[in-house]
């Protein structure tokens, strides 16, 4: 890591205590983001599948729970970005690609065949590969 | 459908970025960002009601591919070897998933 982005070398110090540790927060944000997807799926299952837009999913409490998890996760993410270098953050965020299928298998009881499992692994590998170059793109946007 | 949803999500991201950076009218950028993101979100939930989550979620990796291509076209960002390898891996994975 020769090129640490200026945002990561922020002079601010994280607050004391394990809860405010940037890595606790970044893990929390990733787990919340994955949990949000699982909640949304649970809510979406109750929606009428005829429509393109899942607006009527808003009637389900699961969808709202998912939205709350998303928003809370976003705050943890933004907080930890002040302290964690972007390339590490993006690599860790790639773990979502593992957590979500794992959760849908364990918690939602979805069947994941060998073809799908291989596809998921390839996507993960790709996501990890682009994490570092993606950092440069993010900075320039 | 998946592509439209992901494109909305990426576009929203870029509008937010612009709003933060203070380029152009901030209010307008935020409004567009929220609108486009919301559309992407509802499309996503609509898709979820039709297919398995483990089928749909790998397509989220395309988000990064789109961001990359967007950056190379509009920001004249160079495509490095690493990027190509990653993009190829994601696309191959998504193709496998879509066959399952």
Could you write out the DSSP letters of every residue in B9-24? HHHHHHHHHHHHHT-S
Ranges A6-15, A44-53, A65-74, A78-87: which has the least confidence = A6-15
A45 touches chain B (CB under 8 A): yes
Angle between helices A22-44 and A96-106 (to 10 degrees): 50
Q: In this structure, what token pair is assigned to residue B77? A: 């960002």
Instruction: Please list, in sequence order, all residues whose beta carbon lies within 8 angstroms of the beta carbon of residue A56, skipping any fewer than 6 positions away.
Output: A47, A48
pLDDT at B22 over 80: no
Give the chain A residue nearest B74 (alpha carbons).
A141
The span from the CA of B6 to the CA of B66, in Å, is 8
The span from the CA of A111 to the CA of B100, in Å, is 10
Chain A residues close to B33, C-beta within 8 Å: none
For A90, the 3-state DSSP assignment is helix
**Do residue A123 and residue B44 have CB atoms under 8 angstroms apart?**
no
pLDDT level of residue A41 (50, 70, 90 thresholds): confident
Q: Cα angle at B61 between A136 and A10, to 5 degrees?
A: 35
Say what the alpha-carbon torsion angle A129, A24, A112, B89 is, to the nearest 10 degrees: -10
The predicted-structure confidence for B31-57, as pLDDT tens digits, reads as follows 777 888 888 888 888 787 777 887 888
Q: How far is B49 from chain A (nearest CA, A)?
A: 5
pLDDT at B18 over 60: yes
| CB distance B58 to A97 below 8 Å | yes
The span from the CA of B3 to the CA of A124, in Å, is 19
Per-residue CA distances from A100 to A114, B35, B61 (Å): 17, 26, 12
A110 touches chain B (CB under 8 A): yes
Q: How far is A133 from chain B (nearest CA, A)?
A: 7
pLDDT averaged over every residue in chain A: 79
**Do residue A49 and residue B48 have CB atoms under 8 angstroms apart?**
no
The predicted-structure confidence for A107-133, as pLDDT tens digits, reads as follows 888 888 888 888 889 988 888 888 877
Mean per-residue pLDDT for B18-39?
A: 72
pLDDT at B27 over 60: yes
């Amino acid at each position: 890591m020769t090129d640490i982005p200026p945002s990561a070398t922020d002079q601010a110090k994280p607050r004391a205590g394990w809860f405010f540790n940037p890595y606790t927060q970044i893990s929390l944000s990733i787990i919340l983001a994955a949990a949000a997807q699982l909640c949304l799926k649970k809510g979406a299952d109750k929606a009428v599948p005829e429509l393109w837009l899942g607006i009527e999913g808003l009637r389900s409490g699961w969808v709202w729970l998912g939205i709350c998890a998303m928003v809370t996760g976003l705050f943890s993410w933004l907080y930890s970005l002040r302290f964690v270098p972007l390339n590490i953050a993006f690599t860790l965020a790639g773990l979502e690609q593992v957590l979500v299928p794992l959760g849908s298998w364990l918690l939602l009881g979805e069947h994941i065949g060998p073809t799908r499992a291989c596809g998921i692994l390839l996507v993960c590998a790709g996501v990890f590969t682009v994490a570092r170059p993606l950092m440069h793109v993010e900075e320039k946007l | 459908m998946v592509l439209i949803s992901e494109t909305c999500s990426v576009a929203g991201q870029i509008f937010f970025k612009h709003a933060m950076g203070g380029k152009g009218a901030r209010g307008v950028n935020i409004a567009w960002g929220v609108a486009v993101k919301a559309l992407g979100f509802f499309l996503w939930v609509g898709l979820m009601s039709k297919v398995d989550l483990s089928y749909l979620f790998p397509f989220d990796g395309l988000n990064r591919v789109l961001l990359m291509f967007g950056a190379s076209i509009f920001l004249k960002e160079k495509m490095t070897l690493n990027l190509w390898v990653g993009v190829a891996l994601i696309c191959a994975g998504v193709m496998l998933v879509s066959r399952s």
